[in-house]
Amino acid sequence: MILFFSQRIRTCSNVSIAEILLQIQEAPFLSFPIRDVTNIRCWLATIVQPILDKYGMREVEEDSGIALDKLAMNLAEARLHIDCVACSSPLLFEMSEKFGSREGVEDTTKVANDIFHYIARFLSGNFVQNQLDRLVLSSSLMCPHSPAYNRAFAGLKYEEMPAVEGSGNLNGFLVAIIIVVGVLLSLASVLVLVTRYISRQRHATWCRSLTREQFAELMKEQLDTKNREIDLNNRVTSLASCQDVPMIVRVLMPLIILGNVGLFLSGHLSLGGTVNIIGTFAGQGKKDRTVSVGRMTNLANTGT
Amino acid sequence: MTASDFNVEGFFEFSVVQSTIEMWQAGAYPLAILIAIFSGVWPYTKQCLSMYIWFSTTKSLSCKRRGRILVWLDVLGKWSMVDVFVLVLTLASFALSIESPRHLSFLPEGLYSVRMLVVPKWGLYANMLAQFVAQISSHVIIHFHRKSINKADVDQRVEMGLERPKDGTQSKALCEHCFHLDHDTRAVVRKGFKRVLISSFFLFALLVIPGCSFPSFSKETLGIVGLVIESGNPNLEEAYTYYSVFGLARSIAEQGRFLGTLPDLVGLGTLASLLIVTVLLVPLAQAACLFVMWFVPLTKRRRATSRVLNEILGAWQYTEVYVLSIFITSWQLGGVSEYMVSRAASSIHLQQSKVLQLTNPQDQRVLRIP
């Protein structure tokens, strides 16, 4: 669907404050040759050069050379007009009306100021400062009358920034889990061993308390049990050839196990899931997807 | 200006093998080993052992040992479900929704919306299906193993002229059983212990139900995506989402309805049901079964049936698997989300995090779900 609209932004009382600190070297400034007066690089070369590390970052955080400070922008009122020329979406008509309302103007002004505040913070931050530092540093190499002038200069080269370490220490987490599991397993093992030891001790004490006839009877009983176990082993065959297992199960079970191995392999090698991104703008496709979108609105928040 | 719906399918793709290899390459060795053991080694080991047991004679593997190994395989079989649960948790965690801010009066409600969701594919369903088949076949093998032993035992008693075990038509509660300690001495369980057991059962139920109702984990979306989500929240609330077992199941079921196709409806519906059944209902049923076995007068045959039922319920209760999966997911999700974006947007050099100063150091990336 093609939409055409024109937009106008009218601002009132736009206030911008910026403090730019320039530390200029006296000697290069006073001996500035007339022939380079139009070369901006040469003017930048007169500024005190910052000291950058191997990553191209300032080593000292002090304001030296060129620095952008106390940057602030503010709007007293921002009024945004949108005129729909050929809009098919009802939401864009609605939006153009809302921009003209008093609440709309107030909110537009607030959002514009928030954005300006954000931009001001961004411009006062390290990123812009770093670009300015590099500009100053490269200017001395590009200015023909500068002592550091390099005709074959092809840009400053710095090492790549090392990747930022994640906040979570995975190995520490694993060690914590291993310690907890290890302690639990050790406790359980100790408990089992102690219980067995106590049982054996009690059994030994009980055996000692028996008369010779009773003990002999106990030994015979134990021997009979062992013999019965051996006999039972001789009677029982493998499950694959056991007559008590229905024929269909005997035939199917190995096939099921093999099939299941195949299923596991398929599960591990095939795609487990894909991340899809679905978006809508200005109420397009609203007619056929109203229900779905309505349901989906809280999909990400249905956790609790 | 073009305005229309957009649908980016396959923005990122998951598979167990691929994810494990990538984890290894990314240096997350412990995690890769953990996933490889639970999802890679264990299911195949179990299947191979089952096959060996099925064909092994009692000369190479005694009846007693065969029974023990089968029971252990049945008890530990659930651990191969870890990768399915991890994918289910990932599925819910990646469900992101960016909505146009409602608190700004100049924007109509629902002006724009962008949603990211994980759509399960055959790999997940195949794993789940294989797990079901593995557990059911394990129960069947145990059943026939016991049947063959019982038959041999009866034959042996007849041949040796031994006394057959009492038929056990008389009902008796296990809590009132007299244990023969000696020729003369008998022991019964103290009455106080009964109260302790009753309290434990109720406490267990009381802990399981709120445990499934209250959030078990939360998700915070950081980075630029997090900032955009927050811009759509009332009062610019942080992009936090809390998940309980019920919430997770509801979220999965909702996603199935949203996707709308029959395979997704069935597949995601099964996943949601599996979660509720194995993490909530089966543990409660197992507790009830144990309660009945201890306190209710049962015949010997019924007690044996209850014992088998308890064994089956124990194999199907996945609470501990769910808890471990939460640990693994919360551990790997941050890295996966960062990796996902860095792979998809490798051409956009947004990684100059030391240089790029945004509002918060945590937001110096495109997306991170810790």
Query: For residue range A147-177, what is the model confidence (pLDDT) as tens digits?
Result: 888 888 888 888 877 765 555 555 666 777 7
Q: Closest Cα to residue A302, out of B91, B36, B51?
A: B91
Q: How far apart are CA B171 and CA B187, in angstroms?
A: 19
Q: Is A290 a residue whose pLDDT tops 60?
A: no
Which band of pLDDT confidence, cut at 50, 70 and 90, is reported for residue A296? very low
Chain A nearest C-alpha distance from B45 (Å): 10
Residues of A in contact with B224 (CB under 8 A): none
Residue B123: closest CA among B39, B44, B14, B270: B14
How far from chain centre, in Å, is Cα A37? 49
Tell me the pLDDT of chain A averaged across its residues: 79
The C-alpha of A146 sits at a distance from chain B's nearest C-alpha, in angstroms, of: 29
- Closest-CA residue to A276 (of B230, B96, B46): B96
Optimal mutation site among A274, A287, A290, A291, interface B, most CBs of chain B within 10 A: A274
Residue A109 has pLDDT above 60, yes or no: yes
pLDDT band at A133 (very low <50, low <70, confident <90, very high): confident
Using the Cβ of A290 and the Cβ atoms of chain B, whether some distance falls under 8 Å is answered with no
Nearest to B120 among A130, A167, A273 (CB): A273
Reply yes or no on whether the pLDDT at A263 is more than 50: yes
Interface check A70 vs B, CB under 8 A: no
Cβ contact, residue pair A233, B153, below 8 Å? no
Cβ–Cβ gap B96/A300 under 8 Å:
yes
Q: Give B280 to chain A, closest Cα distance, Å.
A: 16
Q: Judge whether B47 is closer than 8 Å to chain A, CB to CB.
A: yes
Tell me what pLDDT residue B354 has. 39
B163 touches chain A (CB under 8 A): no
Q: What is the ipTM of this complex?
A: 0.82
Nearest CA of chain B to the CA of A147: how many Å?
Answer: 30
- The reported pLDDT for the residue numbered A257 is 96
Q: Do A275 and B117 touch (CB under 8 A)?
A: yes
Res A197: pLDDT:
96
Query: Per the structure block, which two tokens stand in for B8?
Result: 């980016």
Put simply, whether B360 touches A (Cβ < 8 Å) is: no
Q: What phi and psi values does residue A13 have, to the nearest 5 degrees? A: 50, 60
Instruction: Say if residues B92 and B248 touch (Cβ distance below 8 Å).
Output: yes
| Interface A:B, Cβ pairs < 8 A | 357
Residue B213's CB is within 10 A of a number of other CB atoms, namely: 14
pLDDT at A9: 58
Amino acid B40: pLDDT: 84
Contact predicate B122/A266, CB 8 Å:
yes
Which of A124-128, A240-244, A286-290, B311-315 has the weakest average pLDDT? A286-290
Report, as an integer, the average pLDDT of A97-126: 80
Find where tokens 């007068």 sit: B297
The burial of A289, by beta-carbon neighbours within 10 Å (0-12 exposed, 13-18 middle, 19 or more buried), is given as: middle
By the 10 Å C-beta count (0-12 exposed, 13-18 middle, 19+ buried), A87 is classed as buried
Packing angle of the helix pair B122-160, B42-55 (nearest 10 deg): 30
Smallest Cβ distance to B118: which of A92, A270, A273?
A: A273
In order along its 370 residues, chain B shows pLDDT tens digits of 344 477 777 777 878 888 788 777 766 677 778 788 888 899 999 999 999 999 999 888 899 999 999 999 999 999 988 888 888 888 887 778 787 777 777 777 777 788 888 888 899 899 999 999 999 999 999 999 999 999 999 888 888 887 777 666 778 888 888 887 766 777 888 888 888 989 999 999 999 999 899 988 887 777 777 777 777 666 666 667 888 899 889 988 888 888 888 888 998 899 999 999 999 999 999 999 999 999 999 888 888 999 999 999 999 999 999 988 888 877 777 666 666 666 555 443 443 443 343 444 444 444 555 5
**Both tokens assigned to B53:** 């047991």
Q: Determine the residue type at A31.
A: S
State the SS3 of chain A: CECEEEEEEEEEEEEEEEEEEECECHHHHHCCCHHHCCCHHHHHHCECCCCECCCCCECCCCCCCEEEEEEEEEEEEEEEEEEEEECCCHHHHHHHHHHHCHHHHHHHHHHHHHHHHHHHHHHCCHHHHHHHHHHHHHHHHHCCCCCCCCCCCCCCCCCCCCCCCCCCCHHHHHHHHHHHHHHHHHHHHHHHHHHHHHHHHHHHHHHHHCCHHHHHHHHHHHHHHHHHHHHHHHHCCCHHHCCCCCHHHHHHHHHHHHHHHHHHHHHHHCCCEEEEEEEEECCCCHHHHHHHHHHHHCHHHCCC
Type and span of the H or E element at B294: helix B282-295
Helices A102-123/A126-142 angle, 10° precision: 50
Inspect the interface and report whether the beta carbons of B51 and A57 lie closer than 8 Å: no
List chain A residues with CB under 8 Å of B242: 303-304
B 297-326 residues with CB < 8 A to A: none
Res. A233: pLDDT tops 80: yes
Residue B302, token pair as written in the block: 């019924």
Say yes or no: A199 contacts chain B, CB-CB below 8 A. no
CB contact under 8 A, A282 and B3: yes
